[in-house]
């Protein structure tokens, strides 16, 4: 019986794995994300997922490590978690009325194989008034999320449409992860 080790403390990733009834154990290590110097969003999420996944040792041959990293990107600029209210306002103003990309890098490792991929989802925001943005900034929702919004929470009201995997925007492209886990005989 294989054991999945989630190299993430993200409650959203945990909830997605629970939603599809995949048992897992959480094991995280502090990693120095500043080691990843690239500003290319696809390369960055891929390298960060690998960095997080390789930081976790495999304890025995039954373990499989799953690590991920998600970034919001507009015109090739990565929008991290906002530093403060002003930063969050700027991000949301920029995303207003525009289409941006959400990339999640996924790294899966067993004793004898590795799988790495990046999933992309396009998200279009409605045009937002200053009042709508201020209303949202008065909540706690935007401050711990890349791009200053959560599609799975209050930030959903800003989303006009998405092209791609909704769960990728939440933080884990769960259907593609399941297929990758099948590839390395987790199931």
Return all residues near 79 (Cβ < 8 A) that are at least 6 apart: 71, 72, 73, 91, 94, 95, 100, 146, 147, 148
The predicted model scores a pTM of 0.95
d(C-alpha 171, C-alpha 54), whole Å: 19
Predicted confidence at residue 133, as pLDDT, reads 98
Alpha helices in the chain (DSSP H): 11-19, 41-54, 85-95, 130-137, 166-170, 174-183
59's tokens: 């304890």
Helix (H, G, I), strand (E, B) or coil at 105: strand
Q: Tens digit of pLDDT for each residue in 98-145?
A: 999 999 999 999 999 999 999 999 999 999 999 999 999 999 999 999
Helix 11-19 and helix 174-183, axial crossing angle in degrees, nearest 10: 70
CATH of domain 3-183: 3.90.950.10
Query: Can you give the residue ranges of every domain in the chain?
Result: 3-183
Indicate if 60 belongs to the active site.
no
Catalytic position from the list 69, 87, 112, 144: 69
Quickly tell me which residue has 């794995």 as its tokens: 17
d(C-alpha 71, C-alpha 12), whole Å: 14
């Amino acid at each position: 019986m294989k054991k999945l080790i989630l190299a993430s403390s993200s409650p959203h990733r945990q909830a997605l794995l629970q939603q599809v009834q995949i048992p897992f154990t959480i094991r995280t290590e502090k990693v120095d994300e500043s080691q990843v110097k690239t500003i290319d969003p696809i390369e960055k999420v891929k390298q960060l997922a690998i960095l997080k996944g390789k930081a976790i040792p495999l304890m025995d041959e039954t373990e499989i490590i799953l690590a991920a990293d998600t970034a919001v990107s507009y015109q090739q600029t990565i929008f991290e978690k906002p530093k403060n209210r002003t930063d969050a306002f700027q991000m949301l103003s920029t995303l207003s009325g525009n289409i941006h990309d959400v990339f999640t890098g996924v790294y899966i490792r067993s004793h004898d194989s590795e799988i790495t991929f990046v999933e992309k989802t396009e998200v279009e925001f409605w045009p937002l008034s200053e009042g709508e943005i201020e209303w949202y900034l008065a909540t706690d929702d935007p401050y711990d999320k890349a791009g200053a919004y959560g599609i799975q929470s209050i930030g959903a009201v800003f989303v006009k449409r998405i092209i791609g995997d909704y769960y990728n925007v939440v933080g884990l492209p769960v259907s593609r992860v399941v297929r990758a886990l099948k590839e390395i005989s987790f199931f």
